[in-house]
């Protein structure tokens, strides 16, 4: 009886749904419950864009990664991250020394496996990461970006797997990022790899957007796959991944050995995840990502892009219709524009050398298609607006394209006096760590445990600077407030206290009288706000209210910690108003 193990892609569940990922305190809550579910051999804890996202809302990703991986490490559940090869864990290429440091840092932080992919499936971009990962003691899982075209057939992927294994890959992952890999094709790929290399573990990662993934999981299981990536409610399905309950039931019926699911823990994990959505993450989840669509089959775009794609369309829709109206032409609906864009992606994709439509190349192809659609609506020719990043892809600076460029594109490059690059892409990006070390010394910034702060600065320079200055947190708070207002502006419901919405799992500390607020006094008798996370026992004095008859103490109604302060020092408050929010132990 063949055993199939499950990996919970908890990071990707969030990033395929919306913009942000859970905070460190939320990850700390969910980890033991995931463990209690008892059905996961692996959990995806970090990587991709998640650490950049931490910085964007003002949180240091390093303690976040350590906190989330630790409980899994302690019970023997393997942790894994997503790694973009040449691009590391950002959107653009990374110097070799920074790439090398990444694996040392992530291993020290408790990450067992790195899933390395190249958006162009260029083995050269993966090979160096395999070398660095293994030297750092990590398991190097090499991923093949699955898509569907004349170029991307069974033979293509089997040959790629052979090259990756020859480069030292410990495992192979079929990364079906758009979920458009056909089940029969995927089964044949897995069977061929397993026939030649039965000792190599294979993991399948398939998004549920166009609807193939459940059938694909059954096919790859029959072909010998070892691990399947799954999700769980309330974020499973839609543009995310199939739910572990469905996949477990299907495989059990097919005669596979699969782990049992502790449903009590599943429901608690489901409840906690929903509470994170309700906290703040839900304000950045596009409703369209909750639904599946077969429209993705034709264009091949990953479902996680639908949010940004629709935002792009929204941005140009009004302008295009104004142009059409002024020129006495019929206006276009959003759906009509969407179909035009999907058709254009399908048309230009082979002309651009069939890059797998995965981050960042899916964005580049989509951007070119959108510019073409806008131009053609105005009666102008295609290819008039191609950005620098897209040209770098076309010219080979980031790697070799799987297919052949159309002569029209080659001619356009020559017309612009652009040169094609034939060498190793890493050669375009020289080492930079000494520069960052020197600046950290100058600024007095600590390089961090295991050089993790140095790594974060070098990997996400702009976002790290904004995090250190406090600008990121300030910007995020404004973004959250605007998102909350926008949501409630669309309904007749009165906008609630925005700060209260940030703490849905906490209860307010309310003023028992009217007066002027005084937070606790320090030894200089200067009133200070309680720090975020400060713990109080029941009946401990949290603050005081200065009234016209004296000082009225406000005690804690429970054992718990402050998670948010609503009123500032010296504010005039009324009886019954919330002063802070406290979360019970």
**Percentage with pLDDT > 70 across the chain:** 93
Q: Which fold has domain 506-584?
A: OB fold (Dihydrolipoamide Acetyltransferase, E2P) (2.40.50)
> Taking the domains of the chain in order of start, what are their residue ranges?
5-285, 303-424, 506-584
Sorting pLDDT into bands at 50, 70 and 90, what band is 311?
Answer: low
> What are residue 339's phi and psi, to 5 degrees?
-65, -40
What's the confidence (pLDDT) of residue 525?
A: 45
Report how far residue 271's alpha carbon sits from residue 61's, in angstroms, rounded to the nearest whole number.
24
Q: What digits encode the pLDDT tens for the residues 59-96?
A: 999 999 999 999 999 999 999 999 999 999 998 899 99
Cβ atoms of 138 and 112 within 8 Å: the answer is: yes
Contact 219, 187 (CB under 8 A): yes
Q: Which residue has the higher pLDDT, 302 or 454?
A: 454
CA–chain centroid gap for 120, Å, is 19
Tell me the CA distances in angstroms from 34 to 21, 118, 328, one per residue in order.
17, 30, 59
DSSP state string for 462-498: HHHHHHHHTHHHHHHHHHHHHHHHHHHHTSSSPP--H
Nearest to 510 by CA among 502, 501, 500: 500
pLDDT(406) > 90: yes
The pLDDT value given to residue 320: 85
How deeply is 333 buried, as exposed, middle or buried, from its count of CB atoms within 10 A (0-12, 13-18, 19+)?
exposed
Q: Which pLDDT band holds residue 325 (cuts at 50, 70, 90)?
A: confident
Banded pLDDT at 524 (limits 50, 70, 90)? very low
What pLDDT was estimated at residue 505? 73
Query: 244-250: long-range contacts (C-beta < 8 A, 24 or more apart)?
Result: 244/6, 244/8, 244/39, 244/40, 246/214, 247/6, 247/214, 247/217, 248/6, 248/39, 250/214, 250/217, 250/218
> CA 470 from chain center: how many Å?
22
Q: Rounded to an integer, what distance in angstroms lies between the CA atom of residue 316 and that of residue 227?
A: 42
- At 152-187, the pLDDT tens digits run 999 999 999 999 999 999 999 999 999 999 999 999
Give, in order, the Cα–Cα distances in Å from 399 to each of 331, 356, 422, 495: 40, 12, 9, 50
Higher model confidence: residue 407 or residue 537?
Answer: 407
Q: Tell me what pLDDT residue 289 has.
A: 82
Among 51-60, 440-449, 546-555, which stretch is predicted with the lowest mean pLDDT?
546-555
Range 391-399 average pLDDT: 93
pLDDT at 481: 85
For residues 472 and 58, the answer to whether their CB atoms sit within 8 Å is yes
Q: What is the mean pLDDT of the chain?
A: 90
Contacts of 382 (CB under 8 A, 6+ apart): 348, 372, 375, 376
Residue 522 pLDDT greater than 50, yes or no:
no
Compute the distance between CA of residue 418 and CA of residue 128 in angstroms, rounded to an integer. 27
Residues 258 and 273: their CA atoms lie apart, in Å, by 24
- CA atoms of 488 and 495, how far apart (whole Å): 6
Mean pLDDT confidence for 282-289: 84
Alpha helices in 57-143 (DSSP H): 61-75, 96-108, 123-135
Question: For residue 502, which phi and psi values (nearest 5 degrees)?
Answer: -70, -20
Q: Is cis: bond before 384, omega within 30 of 0?
A: no
Token code pair at residue 346: 């399908």
Q: What is the pLDDT of residue 189?
A: 98
Mean pLDDT of 99-121: 97
Q: How many CB atoms lie within 10 A of CB 516?
A: 15
Q: Which of 283-297, 321-335, 380-394, 439-453 has the highest mean pLDDT?
A: 439-453
Work out the burial of residue 447: count CB atoms within 10 Å of its CB; fewer than 13 is exposed, 13-18 middle, 19 or more buried. middle
Give all strands of the β-sheet with 541-547 in edge-to-edge order: 550-555, 541-547, 515-519, 572-573
In the predicted structure, residue 530 carries a pLDDT above the cut 70: no
- pTM assigned to the model: 0.81
Query: DSSP letters along 396-443, please?
Result: TSS---SSPBPHHHHHHHHHTT-----S-GGGGS---HHHHHHHHHHH
Q: Is the pLDDT of residue 499 over 60?
A: no
- Structural Rg of the chain based on CA atoms: 26
For tokens 């276009």, the residue is 332
Written out in words, the top-level CATH class of the domain with range 5-285 is alpha beta
- Poorest-pLDDT segment among 410-414, 494-498, 526-530: 494-498
Residue with more model confidence, 527 or 157: 157
Residue 528 has pLDDT above 80, yes or no: no
CA distance 247 to 74: 27
């Amino acid at each position: 009886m063949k055993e199939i193990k499950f990996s919970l892609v908890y990071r990707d569940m969030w990033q395929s749904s919306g913009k942000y990922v859970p905070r460190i305190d939320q990850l700390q809550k969910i980890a033991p419950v995931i463990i209690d579910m008892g059905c996961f051999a692996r959990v995806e804890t970090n990587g991709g864009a998640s650490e950049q996202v931490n910085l964007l809302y003002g949180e240091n990703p390093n303690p976040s990664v350590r906190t989330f991986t630790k409980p899994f490490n302690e019970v023997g559940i393997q942790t894994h991250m997503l790694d973009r090869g040449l691009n590391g864990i950002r959107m653009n290429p990374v110097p070799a020394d920074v790439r090398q440091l990444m694996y040392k840092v992530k291993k020290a932080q408790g990450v067992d496996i790195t899933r390395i992919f190249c958006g162009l499936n260029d083995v050269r971009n993966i090979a160096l990461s395999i070398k660095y990962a293994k030297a750092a003691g990590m398991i190097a899982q090499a991923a093949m970006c699955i898509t569907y075209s004349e170029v991307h057939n069974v033979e293509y992927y089997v040959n790629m797997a052979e090259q990756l294994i020859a480069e030292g890959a410990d495992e192979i992952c079929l990364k079906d990022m758009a979920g458009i890999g056909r089940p029969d094709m995927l089964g044949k790929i897995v069977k061929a790899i397993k026939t030649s290399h039965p000792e190599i573990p294979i993991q399948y990662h398939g998004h549920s957007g166009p609807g193939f993934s459940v059938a694909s999981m059954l096919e790859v299981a029959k072909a010998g796959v070892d691990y399947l990536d799954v999700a769980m409610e309330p974020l499973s399905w839609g543009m995310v991944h199939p739910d572990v309950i469905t996949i477990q039931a299907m495989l059990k019926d097919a005669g596979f050995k699969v782990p049992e699911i502790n449903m009590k823990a599943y429901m608690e994990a489901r409840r906690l995840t929903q509470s994170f959505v309700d906290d703040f993450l839900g304000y950045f989840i596009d409703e369209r990502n909750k639904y599946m669509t077969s429209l993705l089959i034709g264009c091949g775009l990953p479902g996680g892009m639908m949010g940004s794609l629709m935002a792009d369309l929204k941005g140009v829709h009004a302008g295009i219709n104004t142009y059409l109206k002024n020129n006495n032409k019929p206006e276009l609906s959003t759906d009509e524009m969407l179909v035009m864009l999907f058709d254009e992606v399908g048309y230009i994709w082979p002309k651009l050398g069939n890059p797998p439509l995965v981050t960042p190349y899916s964005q580049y192809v989509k951007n070119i298609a959108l510019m073409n659609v806008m131009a053609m609506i105005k009666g102008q020719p295609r290819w008039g607006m191609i950005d620098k990043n897209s040209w770098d892809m076309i010219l080979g600076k980031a790697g070799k394209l799987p297919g052949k460029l159309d002569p029209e594109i080659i001619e356009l490059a020559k017309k612009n006096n652009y040169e094609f690059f034939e060498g190793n892409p890493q050669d375009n990006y020289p080492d930079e760590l000494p520069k960052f070390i020197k600046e950290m010394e100058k600024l007095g910034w600590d390089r961090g445990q295991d050089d993790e702060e140095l790594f974060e600065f070098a990997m996400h320079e702009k976002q790290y600077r904004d995090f250190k200055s406090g600008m990121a947190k300030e910007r995020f708070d404004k973004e959250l407030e605007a998102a909350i207002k926008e949501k409630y502006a669309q309904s007749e419901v009165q906008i609630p206290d925005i700060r209260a919405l940030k703490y849905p799992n906490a209860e307010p500390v309310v003023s028992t009288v009217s007066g002027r607020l005084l937070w606790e006094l320090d030894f200089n008798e200067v009133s200070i706000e309680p720090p975020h996370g400060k713990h109080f026992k029941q009946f401990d004095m949290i603050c005081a209210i200065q009234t016209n008859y004296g000082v009225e103490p406000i005690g804690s109604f429970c054992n718990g910690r402050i998670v948010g302060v609503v009123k500032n020092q010296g504010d005039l408050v009324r009886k019954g108003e919330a002063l802070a929010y406290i979360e019970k132990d």
